[in-house]
Structure 1
Amino acid sequence: MESSHVISITNEEDSNNNIAQMKKETNTHIGKNKINCSFVPRDNNKRKIKSEHDIKKMIHSIKVGLSLVLVSLLYIINPLFDQVGENAMWAIMTVVVIFEFNAGATLGKGFNRGIGTIVGGGLGCLAAILAQNIGGVGNSIFISTSVYIFGSFATYFRLVPKIKNRYDYGVVVFMLTFNLVVVSGARPGVKVWELARERLLTILMGFIVAICVNLFVYPLWASDELHDSIVSRFHHLANTIQGCLEECSKSVKEKENQPDATNFTVCKSVLNSKSKDESLANFAKWEPWHGKFGFSYPWEKYLKIGEILRELASLILALERCLLASKNPTATLKRSKAQLEQCEAIGSRVVWTLREVGDSLKKMRKCEERENIIAKLKTTREELSLVISTSNISEFENGEMLAIASLVFLLMEVVEKVGELVIEAGELQDKAGFRTRVTPVSS
C-alpha cells in the first residue's frame, strides 16, 4: 500500500525558520562543492569519450589481426601443417568465433566452446562406436535416434533462463560437435577417436592464442566498463536534476527568451541501459582477478544500483513532463518566494548526495557520511510537504494547486529513490571491501 502523507498547516514564520535551517544545512553539506557547473555535457567531454572508444576499437582490431596471423601459422609453416593438416581450419574458426571486445566475453565464449566440444565430442564418439557395432539398418536408426534425443534435450536446456544467460553458446557448440562427430563416424572405416582428438587439439590451439592475446595485449575489461558506466550515471542524473532547478529558478521572461537547455536525453539513455548492464556483469564474472576487482566481486549489486538509477531517470522524465504540461508551475511558486527557495534547497541536497555517492564509488572508498545522508533524506520528504502546507491556498486556482502538488510529490519520490541508492551503494561498499578515507595526521 502507498504510504499516506499528512500535510500540516503551519504559519509563515515557522516556514521561514524551517527554510533558513534547511539552507544552512545544505550549504554545510555542499561547502566548496557548490553546484555551479552546467548540466549540459560539454562538447570536449563528448569528443574525449568518443576518441577513447575509437582507440579501444582500433586496439581490438589489431589484436584480432594478430591472433589470426598467429593461428594461420598452422597452415603456413610446413612442420605444423604436417601435424594438424586440414584440421587447422578449426583453430582459425575458433579464433574468429570466440574473440570478443572484452576479455570476460572472450573467456566466457572460450570456456563454453571448450566444454561444449569436449562433452559433445565424447558423447558423439561413444554414439558413433555403438552405431558401428550395431551395423546394418540399426546403425542408421541408432544414429537418428541419438541425434533426435540429444538435440531435443539440448534445445530445451537453452530455454532455461539461467543456462541461457551464461551457457547458451556452450550448448550450441555441444549440439554442433555431437552431430558432426556422430554423423562423420557413421561410415565404416572412419577412426572416430582420432578424428575427435585432432579437432579438439586444433580448437585448443585457437583457444590458447585468442585468450593469450586478449589477456596479455592491452586487455579491455568488461568490469571496468560496467563500473565506469554506473558511476557516470550518478553525475549525469545529478546534472539533469540541477538543470530542472535552474529552469524553475528562471523568470517567465527568461524562459521565453532562452531555449530549454536541460538535456533529458541522458535519462532516456539510462532507461535503455538494462541489457548492456546485464551483458557486462555476465562478462565480468568470467574475468580473473585484475586491478581493483577480485574474485567473487558483488556484480549483482551493480545491477541493483542500475535498476534504481533507471527508476530515478523515469521520475526525472515525469518531472520534466509535469513542468511542460502545466501552464507555469514555477511562476505560481514565485508568488511565494519562500516555497521556491525551499524546493531549491531540497533539490541542491539531492544533487549533492548523488555526486557524493558517485564520487565514493568512483574512488572505491566508503562514504563516511552515509548514515547522516540517509537520516537527512528521510526528513527531506517530510520537509517537502511544507511547500504546500505553508501556501496561501486561496491565492491559487485548482489547476495551479494540482501542478504544484504533482511537482512536490514527484520530488518526494526522487528523494526516496536517492535514499535507496545510498543504501544499495553502502551495501556494495561493504561487500566489496571498499577502503575508508585516510585522514592525514596534522603535525
Structure 2
Amino acid sequence: MESSQHIISIVKGEENIAQMKKENNKIHPRDKQNETRNIIHSVKVGVSLVLVSLMYLLNPLFHQVGENAMWAIMTVIVIFEFSPGATLGKGLNRGMGTIVGGGLGCLAAFFAHNIIGGVGNSVIIGTVGTYFRLLPKVKQRYEYGVVTLMLTFNLVMMYGVRANEKVWEIARQRLLSIVMGFIVCICVSLFIFPLWASDELHHSTVSTFHDLANTIQGCLEENGILVSENESQLIAGFTLCNSVLNSKSKDELLANSARWEPWHGKFGFCYPWENYLKIGNVLRELATFVLAVGHSLQSSKQDMASLRQTHLEQFETCEAIGSRVAWALRELGDSMKQMKKCEDNKGSSILAKLKECREELSLVISTSKVAILENGQVLAISSLVFLLMKVVDKVEELVKEVEELGQIAAFPTNITIPLSS
C-alpha cells in the first residue's frame, strides 16, 4: 500500500515537472512584442544605411562631402536607437559636440604655432570636458555630446597643426556628412513605424500597478496562505516582483529618451516624465514589501494553517484588506492608463478606504485576540499585519504621486464605480 502511494506521488511529481517545463517553454506575449520591435529596428537601420550609402554612389553628394561620407555611415550606426527620442537626443549631442569641438579645434589649430601650444590646448579641453562629463546631470543627458566634443577637438586641432590650410574644408565636409546622416536617422525613426519610449514607459508603469495588484491579492487568498496547489503562481509573483525591483535603470533610460521626443499622442511638450520616475521608485518599494509578505506566508505556513482553522475571522480580514489594496492599485493603474483623475460618485477617495484598512489591521492584533495565541502564531500574524501596514503606506504614497502627476499633466476628471463594501 505504501509503495503504491509512493508511486502515485512520484508520477504526480513528474507530471507537475512536465507541466512546469511546458509553461516555461511557452513564448510570453512580451517576448513576442520584443521580437517584433527588434525586427522593426533592424529593418529601419538597414534602410538608413542604404540611404546614406547613396552619398558614395551619387556624384553630386560625393563632391560635397568627399571621402568624409564615411562619417555619415558612422553616424547612422552610432546614433540610431529604438526610439525617436533616444535617436534625436543622441544625434543632437553628436551634432553639438561636433560643432563646438570642431570650432574649438580650428581656433586651437589657428593659434597653435608649435607642438607645445597644441598639446597645452588639448590638455585644457580634455581636462574641462572630462570634468563636466562626470557631473551627474551632464552624464545623464549630455555625456555623449561631451565625448564627441573632446574627440572632434583633438582630431581637428592635431590635423590643423600639420595642414592648417585644409582644416576648415575638412571640418565643413565632416559636419555636413554628420548632418546628412542625422537627418536620415531622424526621418526614418519618426516616419517608419516609430517606437516611442514614452509609450513604453507609460504602459510599463501601468502594467506594474496591475501586476502588483494581482500578486498581493494572490498572496492573501486561501490557496496562497496554505501554499499548496498554487505554489507555482506564488513563484511567478515573486519573479515579477524581482523584475520590478530591477527596473530602475530601464525606467531612467526610457524617461531620458522620452524627454527628447516631439509632441505625439496624448504627450505634449514638457510632459512630467520625472513624476513617472517618482512613481516607479514607490512601486519598487511596494514590490519589496509585497515580496516580504509572500515569503513571510511561506516561512510560517504551518502556523498560518493552524490559525486559519481556529481564527478564521482574522484571516478573512487580511484577505479583504488585500482585495481592497489590489482594487486601489488597479484604480490607480486605470487612472494612469486613461490619463484621467480617479474619483468615485460618492466622493469617498481611495485614501479614505486605505485609512479604513489601517484601522481594521490594528484590530487584528488587538491584545484580547493575541493573548490566546501561541508564540509562533503571534509572530506569524504580527509579521503579516506589520507588512500589510507597510503595503498600505506605500499605496497611500502612490495615490499622492498619481494625484500630483494628474495635476501637473492636467488629467480630466474620471467618474468610476466605488468598491462595494
Contact in 1 for aligned 2:64/2:173 (Cα 8 Å): no
Aligned residue in 2 for 1:304: 278
Q: Give CA-to-partner distance per residue, 1:139-197, whole Å, 9 cap, x none.
A: 10100000011001101111100100000000000000000000001114532211111
The SS at the match of 1:433 is coil
- Which residue among 341, 351, 372 is the counterpart of 1:366? 341
Q: Of Structure 1 and Structure 2, which has the larger fraction of its residues in helix?
A: 2
Aligned residue in 2 for 1:432: 409
TM superposition score normalised by structure 1 = 0.84
Contact in 1 for aligned 2:101/2:149 (Cα 8 Å): yes
* Mapping 1:74-153, distance limit 5 Å: 74-131=55-112, 134=113, 139-153=114-128
> Any gaps of 5 or more consecutive residues in structure 2?
1-22, 417-421
CA spacing shift, 1:383–1:173, aligned 2, 3 Å: same
Q: 2 CA distance for matches of 1:215 and 1:357?
A: 31
Q: 1 CA distance for matches of 2:384 and 2:331?
A: 25
- Which residue among 216, 233, 248 is the counterpart of 1:261? 233
TM superposition score normalised by structure 2 = 0.88
CA spacing shift, 1:336–1:96, aligned 2, 3 Å: same
The SS at the match of 2:110 is helix
Aligned partner letter, 1:386: L
Q: How big is the shift at 1:55?
A: 1.4
Q: 1 CA distance for matches of 2:40 and 2:193?
A: 8
Q: How big is the shift at 1:326?
A: 2.1
> Any gaps of 5 or more consecutive residues in structure 1?
1-41
Q: How big is the shift at 1:289?
A: 0.5
State whether structure 2 residue 307 is matched by structure 1 residue 326: no
Q: Give CA-to-partner distance per residue, 1:359-401, whole Å, 9 cap, x none.
A: 1111111101386211121232121011111754343211210
Q: How big is the shift at 1:320?
A: 1.7
Q: How big is the shift at 1:119?
A: 0.4
Q: Give CA-to-partner distance per residue, 1:216-255, whole Å, 9 cap, x none.
A: 11111100000001000001101111111124676x5xx4
The SS at the match of 1:185 is helix
Aligned residue in 2 for 1:245: 220
- The count of residues paired between Structure 1 and Structure 2 equals 389
Aligned residue in 2 for 1:24: none
Q: 2 CA distance for matches of 1:70 and 1:389?
A: 73
CA spacing shift, 1:266–1:256, aligned 2, 3 Å: closer
- Which residue among 166, 169, 181 is the counterpart of 1:206? 181
Q: 1 CA distance for matches of 2:224 and 2:33?
A: 37
Q: How big is the shift at 1:421?
A: 0.7
Identity among equivalent pairs (%): 63
Aligned residue in 2 for 1:56: 37
CA spacing shift, 1:45–1:349, aligned 2, 3 Å: farther
Contact in 1 for aligned 2:304/2:377 (Cα 8 Å): no
Aligned residue in 2 for 1:273: 247
State whether structure 2 residue 317 is matched by structure 1 residue 336: no
RMSD: 2.0
Q: How big is the shift at 1:414?
A: 0.4
* Greater RCO structure (CA 8 Å; 6+ sep): 1
Contact in 2 for aligned 1:248/1:330 (Cα 8 Å): no
- Which residue among 394, 403, 407 is the counterpart of 1:417? 394
CA spacing shift, 1:45–1:352, aligned 2, 3 Å: farther
Q: 2 CA distance for matches of 1:321 and 1:374?
A: 27
Q: 1 CA distance for matches of 2:164 and 2:302?
A: 86
Aligned partner letter, 2:302: N
Q: 2 CA distance for matches of 1:256 and 1:348?
A: 20
Q: Give CA-to-partner distance per residue, 1:69-113, whole Å, 9 cap, x none.
A: 000001012232222210101111111111011111100100100
CA spacing shift, 1:259–1:420, aligned 2, 3 Å: closer
The SS at the match of 1:186 is helix
- Which residue among 167, 170, 174 is the counterpart of 1:192? 167
Of 51-60 and 278-287, the range deviating more from structure 2 = 51-60
